[in-house]
Amino acid sequence: MSANSASVGRSKQELETPALCLDLQLYRRNVRRMVDFIIGQCGIAWRPHMKGQKAPELAHELLAAGAIGVTCATVYEAEDLAEAGVNDILVANQVAGRHKLARLARLARRAWILTATDSLAHLELLSAAAQTEGVVLPVLVELDVGMNRCGVPPGEPAVELARAACRTPGIRFAGLMAWEGHTLLFEGEEKRQAIHDAIRSLVNSAELCRAAGLPVERVSCSGSGTFLHSGELEGVTEIQAGGGAFCDLNYRKWGLENDYAITVVTRIVSRPTPTRIIVDGGFKTMSSQHGPPRPIGLGPLKSLVLSAEHGILELEQPDTERQVGDLVEFIPGYTDSTVCLHDELCVLEDGRVSAIWGIPGRSGRR
């Protein structure tokens, strides 16, 4: 039984804390904005990334709103979503290791699973797993368009690997993908240019493949901090932006003007001084990776320290209003690194808990 399973129907005040909360109305508004831009304005298909969102109920929300399928970072996430009836999934990663490859290939029996590769050696591993399972795996060749993570260089190396994918048994070459994550660090016109340069190298590589007679069905890319600019270009067929449906301090910094749909609700456990507030959520509840969380409705902070199970807030000015037992709600710095610390999501509608959803896909346990 989960900590908050008895909270459905109750107000936020009555939550067991710390609790990860989703304002479903704000989430739906964010989703609508992304659908309107990506599908409506740009005419591109939407394949939102679930690495941060994870909950299958959210995947179904996204599909109902118009997404063609979803993107995952791991086989585990994909398995849990497939189990919940999501049947069009891109595992946008290089899956390696005998057991994981077998799980990926087995999954392709239950759902339409697309995955990524960036080397001949990896292609052979995918091919062996697919043939053992008796399936054909559709594969995207991943390009490194400047992030210096995975991927082959754009241009001829991409064409070469695409050609190899076309003749590899158990594999069906389905197109190209890239993630222009390095451009998140830029601002203004410089950012727009960096995104355009990255996406053009992807789209041009797709054209080179087509010119070589290779069937490029999909050109997949982009995230919540970049799609506003990549969507301006021709040639992209799918956008992977996902975390922006939650939004957080990082996504705002990266230029997305969505609402904060995810918060972490904590409770004050101690008021040692007029300027110090101690809450029952620390680094096991909220991550500071990519920036610290921000409490809502408090005055300026001198400091915020997260120890394991304590949040220690030192205010600039004394506060006599907040008492032990009161709630303090935080906007995550980065939802990706915060949601994965929790087992459940408390869904709020009009300030009341309307559901508790599990957050699977974190461990691969099944």
Ligand X SMILES: Cc1ncc(COP(=O)(O)O)c(C=O)c1O
Q: Does 231 bind ligand X (CB under 6 A)?
A: no
Run of H or E including 329: strand 327-331
- Taking Cα atoms as reference points, which of 287, 312, 290, 289 lies closest to residue 302? 312
Q: Does 243 bind ligand X (CB under 6 A)?
A: yes
Q: Phi and psi at residue 303, in whole multiples of 5°? A: -160, 155
Q: What is the smallest separation between the CB atom of 314 and ligand X, expressed in angstroms?
A: 31
Q: Which of 224, 230, 258, 266 binds ligand X (CB under 6 A)?
A: 224
Measured in whole angstroms, the distance separating CA 268 from the mean position of its chain's CA atoms is: 30
Q: What is the smallest separation between the CB atom of 48 and ligand X, expressed in angstroms?
A: 7
Q: Does 244 bind ligand X (CB under 6 A)?
A: yes
Q: Does 52 bind ligand X (CB under 6 A)?
A: yes
Q: What is the smallest separation between the CB atom of 249 and ligand X, expressed in angstroms?
A: 13
Stretch that binds ligand X, among 81-89, 151-159, 241-249, 281-289 (CB under 6 A): 241-249
Q: Does 223 bind ligand X (CB under 6 A)?
A: yes
Q: Does 33 bind ligand X (CB under 6 A)?
A: no
Alpha-carbon distance 72 to 247, whole Å?
18
Q: What is the smallest separation between the CB atom of 49 and ligand X, expressed in angstroms?
A: 4
Measured in whole angstroms, the distance separating CA 235 from the mean position of its chain's CA atoms is: 23
* Rounded-to-10 torsion of CA 48, 189, 184, 209: 60
Under 8 Å CB-to-CB from 48, ≥6 apart: which residues? 34, 62, 67, 70, 71, 240, 241, 242, 245
Question: Can you give the length of the chain in residues?
Answer: 366
Q: What is the smallest separation between the CB atom of 4 and ligand X, expressed in angstroms?
A: 25
Cβ proximity of 35 and 60 under 8 Å:
no
- Taking Cα atoms as reference points, which of 305, 303, 247 lies closest to residue 281? 305
Stretch that binds ligand X, among 128-136, 189-197, 201-209, 235-243 (CB under 6 A): 235-243
Q: Does 69 bind ligand X (CB under 6 A)?
A: no
DSSP string, 126-161: HHHHHHHHT--EEEEEEE-SSS-SS-BPTTHHHHHH
Q: Does 49 bind ligand X (CB under 6 A)?
A: yes
Q: What is the smallest separation between the CB atom of 286 and ligand X, expressed in angstroms?
A: 18
Q: Does 242 bind ligand X (CB under 6 A)?
A: yes
Q: Which of 241, 278, 286, 347 binds ligand X (CB under 6 A)?
A: 241
Size of the site for ligand X (CB under 6 A): 12
Cβ proximity of 233 and 178 under 8 Å:
no
Q: What is the smallest separation between the CB atom of 193 and ligand X, expressed in angstroms?
A: 19
Q: Does 146 bind ligand X (CB under 6 A)?
A: no
Summarize as ranges the residues that interact with ligand X (CB under 6 A).
Answer: 49, 52, 92, 179, 181, 223-224, 240-244
